[in-house]
């Protein structure tokens, strides 16, 4: 089933005429970033005042002049004020007042210039670019915190930060990365490319999509503001009861993560509705690009697991503000409740991080091997298998915590089983490389690095899934090395591959290839140099999140720290390349520089407003390289009647 065309007319509420073209106002009079900030400030003060009014009896911390309740309400109402200032609710109010509501075509017709990137917009391509810039900012912020951690760990005895600052830095790094990087591929590349890849002119819920992006700046700012409130001592996991004991910075963590969680839920919801309902005629499930499959599975993970996190954090906030006792053992609650709620989200979360990486590399390697993707069905089954199984493994984070001991063989089994569908991705890659014509372009190098890094990360995961081995490894730097190899070595390398591969499509310019090669080699070498020794550091007994460690581990820690600074340097090279290429050099790269069969490459770069002049009819899969006389991937100018005929067939009988 697929929807073919936009409704012919703009939305017409009862009693009003067709939409009037809106008078063009100067950018500073239209709702945008700057009005959002004004709204946020007003909202924060309103919330803070309201919180003090409501909670005047709850002096939770008698040593402080600011209680948690006004802080939490300030953040929440501040976020609502930010959205109001941005104009998120304007269309809603217009409908309620019976006035016409703008549609995408109007907006695209009048769109030009930089200002639209600072507005609440219906165009998914603009949202994609907004996400890309945002994600790079969030990643670099988290990365700076990481380098601060490694600076502290240069010496086991000489400390450059006090204990509270160190734990705050650790928590900020972890939380910034984990909550933001969940959308690092889905945001920039999922939102931008999905309609292009399935032959659609739009996403299903355009306003939800933009809202999902505009929730990320408040999450970022609220999380960072925790530093100003004394920080939080729990790391990104936020375990109770330490999080109940902590002071005001903990509220920043809970609210920021909750807001980002809402963003994830909305983005995921939008994506799977779009993929199910907005595919062009001929875009059967068996022709769907592998990247779209990864977005589809990730979106299900988001929608099903993130609400559990939001619920758990909500209970944390009520424990801290209105004196409920969900997580306090001595008052009838249970610390295990938080752990289980968090990890029920936490495990699908890491697959939300890993699967887009798989999708990107599965998309890139056929192009640069000039061969079809080997085992399309196996790859799809791998993604679906990983997504399904990821809900059944979460207690492997809790093997030593005192859970029912008989549960542990069960979770060991499910965790070991999940390595089978993960292995399918390798089968598919190895088959694609067989007798290929491999071109070593920058995106291809990053994609191959993912396979190298994720192998190490994945096999170390098998070590962790084994309960006896986990007795030594749990909570140590071995775990750290494992997840950095899978998440940074997997997802972030794939993100870089996607940047180099798809930036010509998204912006019509190419990133400098020489800088790209330098970026790749420095990042790959220093990434491995940073994280490979950490397996040994963990096995030799250094726990996570400590600032003092055994003296004999200092050489290893110093090697790791210096490598991490050099790794930061390689990310700087990427930043320089990105900013130089997009702002200053702007070398044009239109058309299809990689000679890819992907549907997104069949339109101009950047794509025209509306993506396709007419809804295309898809004729074959995107991976038919080497097939003699392969039909083109789609007919971009279908004869009149073809599209409506296919729509009729679908409604009558067994259409796809």
Q: Looking at residues 46 to 105 of the shown chain, list those that interact with other proteins (rule: CB under 8 A).
A: 60-61
Size of the site for other proteins (CB under 8 A): 104
What's the closest the beta carbon of residue 443 comes to other proteins, in angstroms? 14
203 phi and psi angles, rounded to 5 deg: -90, 165
Residue from 20, 22, 439, 588 binding other proteins (CB under 8 A): 439
What's the closest the beta carbon of residue 228 comes to other proteins, in angstroms? 17
CA 650 to each of CA 1, 2, 562, 653: distance values in angstroms, whole numbers, following the listed order? 6, 8, 60, 6
Angle (nearest 5°) at CA 242 between 240 and 247: 115
SS3 543: strand
Q: Does 163 bind other proteins (CB under 8 A)?
A: yes
- Specify the stretch interacting with other proteins by CB under 8 A; choose among 17-25, 129-137, 158-166, 182-190: 158-166
What's the closest the beta carbon of residue 219 comes to other proteins, in angstroms? 22
- Specify the stretch interacting with other proteins by CB under 8 A; choose among 348-356, 387-395, 415-423, 487-495: 415-423
Residue 104: count of CB within 10 angstroms of its CB: 20
Query: Judged by CB, which is closer to other proteins: 344, or 547?
Result: 547
Residue from 53, 160, 627, 648 binding other proteins (CB under 8 A): 627
Angle (nearest 5°) at CA 534 between 530 and 538: 165
- Specify the stretch interacting with other proteins by CB under 8 A; choose among 41-49, 231-239, 296-304, 634-642: 231-239
Query: Judged by CB, which is closer to other proteins: 418, or 509?
Result: 418
Residue entry with tokens 């912006």: 507
Tell me how far apart the alpha carbons of residues 87 and 203 are, in angstroms, rounded to a whole number: 20
Query: Judged by CB, which is closer to other proteins: 91, or 339?
Result: 339
Angle (nearest 5°) at CA 93 between 90 and 95: 110
Q: Which of residues 357-376 bind other proteins (CB under 8 A)?
A: 369-372, 374-376
Tell me how far apart the alpha carbons of residues 63 and 71 are, in angstroms, rounded to a whole number: 16
Q: Does 587 bind other proteins (CB under 8 A)?
A: no
Residue from 330, 583, 640, 652 binding other proteins (CB under 8 A): 330
Query: Judged by CB, which is closer to other proteins: 42, or 455?
Result: 455
Query: Judged by CB, which is closer to other proteins: 318, or 582?
Result: 318
Query: Judged by CB, which is closer to other proteins: 30, or 544?
Result: 544
317 phi and psi angles, rounded to 5 deg: -65, -40
What's the closest the beta carbon of residue 44 comes to other proteins, in angstroms? 25
Q: Does 426 bind other proteins (CB under 8 A)?
A: yes
Which of 84, 103, 106 is CA-nearest to residue 93? 84
Query: Judged by CB, which is closer to other proteins: 52, or 164?
Result: 164
Residue from 92, 109, 228, 245 binding other proteins (CB under 8 A): 245
What's the closest the beta carbon of residue 371 comes to other proteins, in angstroms? 4
Tell me how far apart the alpha carbons of residues 378 and 374 are, in angstroms, rounded to a whole number: 8
What's the closest the beta carbon of residue 298 comes to other proteins, in angstroms? 23
Q: Does 656 bind other proteins (CB under 8 A)?
A: no
Residue from 66, 208, 469, 525 binding other proteins (CB under 8 A): 469
Q: Which of residues 449-468 bind other proteins (CB under 8 A)?
A: 451-452, 455-456, 459, 462-463, 465-468
Angle (nearest 5°) at CA 413 between 410 and 419: 150
Residue from 30, 34, 94, 408 binding other proteins (CB under 8 A): 408
Residue entry with tokens 């070398």: 587
Whether residue 424 contacts residue 375, with contact meaning beta carbons closer than 8 Å, is answered with yes
Q: Does 631 bind other proteins (CB under 8 A)?
A: no
Q: Which of residues 529-548 bind other proteins (CB under 8 A)?
A: 539-541, 543-548
Query: Judged by CB, which is closer to other proteins: 277, or 552?
Result: 552
Residue from 4, 108, 470, 589 binding other proteins (CB under 8 A): 470
Tell me how far apart the alpha carbons of residues 85 and 290 are, in angstroms, rounded to a whole number: 38
**Which structure tokens are listed for 428?**
């598919």
CA 77 to chain centre: 25
- Specify the stretch interacting with other proteins by CB under 8 A; choose among 30-38, 267-275, 328-336, 574-582: 328-336
Q: Does 475 bind other proteins (CB under 8 A)?
A: yes
Query: Judged by CB, which is closer to other proteins: 207, or 371?
Result: 371
What's the closest the beta carbon of residue 588 comes to other proteins, in angstroms? 23
Q: Which of residues 172-201 bind other proteins (CB under 8 A)?
A: none
- Residue 584, exposed/middle/buried by CB under 10 A (0-12, 13-18, 19+)? exposed
What's the closest the beta carbon of residue 90 comes to other proteins, in angstroms? 41
- Specify the stretch interacting with other proteins by CB under 8 A; choose among 6-14, 73-81, 83-91, 402-410: 402-410
Which of 220, 251, 210 is CA-nearest to residue 234? 251
Q: Which of residues 284-313 bind other proteins (CB under 8 A)?
A: 286
Q: Does 625 bind other proteins (CB under 8 A)?
A: yes
Residue from 402, 555, 569, 639 binding other proteins (CB under 8 A): 402
Half-sphere exposure of 66 (CA within 13 A, CB side): 14
Which of 597, 486, 499 is CA-nearest to residue 188? 499
Residue entry with tokens 């007419």: 614
Q: What is the helix (H) or strand (E) element at residue 617, kind and residue range?
A: strand 617-618
Whether residue 229 contacts residue 71, with contact meaning beta carbons closer than 8 Å, is answered with yes
234 phi and psi angles, rounded to 5 deg: -105, -5
Residue from 20, 400, 569, 648 binding other proteins (CB under 8 A): 400
What's the closest the beta carbon of residue 400 comes to other proteins, in angstroms? 5
> 617 pairs with which residues across the strands?
635
Q: Does 164 bind other proteins (CB under 8 A)?
A: yes
Residue 557: count of CB within 10 angstroms of its CB: 21
Whether residue 570 contacts residue 488, with contact meaning beta carbons closer than 8 Å, is answered with no
Per the omega criterion (within 30 degrees of 0), is the bond before 241 cis?
Answer: yes
Q: Does 157 bind other proteins (CB under 8 A)?
A: no
List CB contacts of 361: < 8 A, sequence separation 6 or more: 425, 429, 447, 450, 451, 494, 497
Helix axes 376-389, 335-369, angle to 10 degrees: 170
Q: Does 598 bind other proteins (CB under 8 A)?
A: no
């Amino acid at each position: 089933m697929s929807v073919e065309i936009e409704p012919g007319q703009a939305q017409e509420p009862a009693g009003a005429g067709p939409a009037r073209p809106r008078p063009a106002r100067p950018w500073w009079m239209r709702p945008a970033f700057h009005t959002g900030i004004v709204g946020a400030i007003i909202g924060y003060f309103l919330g803070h005042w309201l919180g003090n009014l409501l909670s005047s009896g709850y002096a939770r911390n008698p040593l402080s002049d600011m209680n948690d309740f006004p802080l939490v309400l300030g953040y929440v109402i501040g976020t609502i004020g930010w959205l109001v200032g941005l104009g998120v609710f304007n269309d809603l109010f217009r409908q309620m007042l019976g006035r016409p509501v703008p549609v995408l075509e109007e907006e695209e017709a009048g769109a030009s210039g930089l200002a639209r990137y600072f507005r609440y917009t219906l165009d998914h391509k603009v949202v994609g670019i907004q996400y890309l810039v945002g994600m790079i900012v969030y990643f670099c912020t988290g990365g700076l915190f990481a380098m601060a951690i490694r600076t502290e760990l240069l010496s086991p005895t000489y400390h450059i930060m006090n204990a509270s600052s160190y734990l705050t830095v650790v928590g900020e790094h972890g939380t910034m990365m984990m909550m933001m990087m969940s959308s690092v591929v889905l945001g920039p590349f999922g939102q931008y490319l999905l309609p292009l890849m399935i032959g659609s002119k739009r996403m299903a819920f355009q306003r939800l999509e933009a809202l999902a992006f505009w929730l990320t700046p408040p999450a970022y700012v609220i999380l960072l503001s925790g530093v100003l409130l004394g920080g939080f001592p729990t790391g990104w996991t936020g375990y109770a009861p330490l999080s109940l004991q902590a002071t005001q910075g903990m509220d920043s963590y809970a609210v920021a993560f909750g807001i980002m969680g809402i963003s994830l839920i909305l983005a995921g919801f939008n994506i799977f509705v779009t993929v199910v309902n907005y595919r062009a005629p001929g875009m059967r499930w068996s022709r769907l690009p592998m990247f779209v499959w990864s977005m589809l599975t990730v979106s299900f993970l988001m929608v099903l697991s993130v609400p559990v996190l939001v619920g758990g954090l909500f209970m944390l906030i009520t424990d801290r503000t209105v004196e409920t006792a969900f997580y306090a053992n001595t008052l009838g609650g249970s610390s295990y409740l938080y752990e289980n709620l968090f990890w029920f989200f936490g495990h699908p979360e890491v697959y939300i991080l890993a699967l887009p990486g798989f999708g990107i590399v599965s998309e890139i390697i056929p192009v640069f091997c000039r061969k079809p993707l080997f085992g399309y069905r196996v790859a799809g089954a791998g993604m679906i298998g990983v997504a399904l199984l990821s809900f059944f493994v979460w207690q492997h984070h809790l093997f030593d915590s005192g859970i029912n001991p008989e549960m542990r063989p069960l979770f060991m089994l499910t965790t070991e089983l999940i390595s089978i569908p993960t292995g399918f991705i390798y089968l598919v890659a190895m088959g694609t490389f067989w007798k290929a014509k491999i071109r070593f372009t920058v995106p291809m190098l990053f994609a191959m690095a993912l396979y190298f890094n994720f192998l190490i990360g994945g096999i170390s995961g098998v070590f962790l899934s084994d309960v006896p081995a986990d007795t030594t490894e749990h909570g140590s730097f071995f775990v750290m090395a494992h997840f950095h190899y899978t998440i940074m070595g997997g997802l972030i390398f794939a993100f870089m591959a996607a940047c180099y591969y798809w930036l010509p499509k998204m912006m019509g310019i190419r990133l400098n290839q020489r800088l790209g090669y330098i970026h790749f080699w420095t990042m790959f070498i220093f990434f491995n140099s940073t994280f490979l020794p950490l397996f040994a550091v963990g096995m030799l007994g250094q726990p996570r999140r400590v600032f003092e460690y055994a003296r004999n581990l200092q050489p290893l820690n110093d090697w790791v720290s210096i490598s991490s600074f050099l790794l930061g340097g390689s990310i700087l090279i990427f930043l320089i390349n990105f900013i130089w290429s997009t702002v200053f050099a702007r070398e044009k790269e239109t058309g299809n520089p990689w000679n890819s069969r992907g549907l997104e490459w069949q339109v101009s770069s950047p794509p025209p407003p509306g993506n396709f002049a007419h809804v295309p009819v898809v004729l074959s899969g995107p991976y038919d390289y080497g097939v003699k006389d392969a039909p083109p991937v789609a007919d971009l100018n279908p004869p009149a009647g073809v599209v409506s005929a296919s729509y009729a067939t679908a409604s009558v009988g067994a259409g796809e």
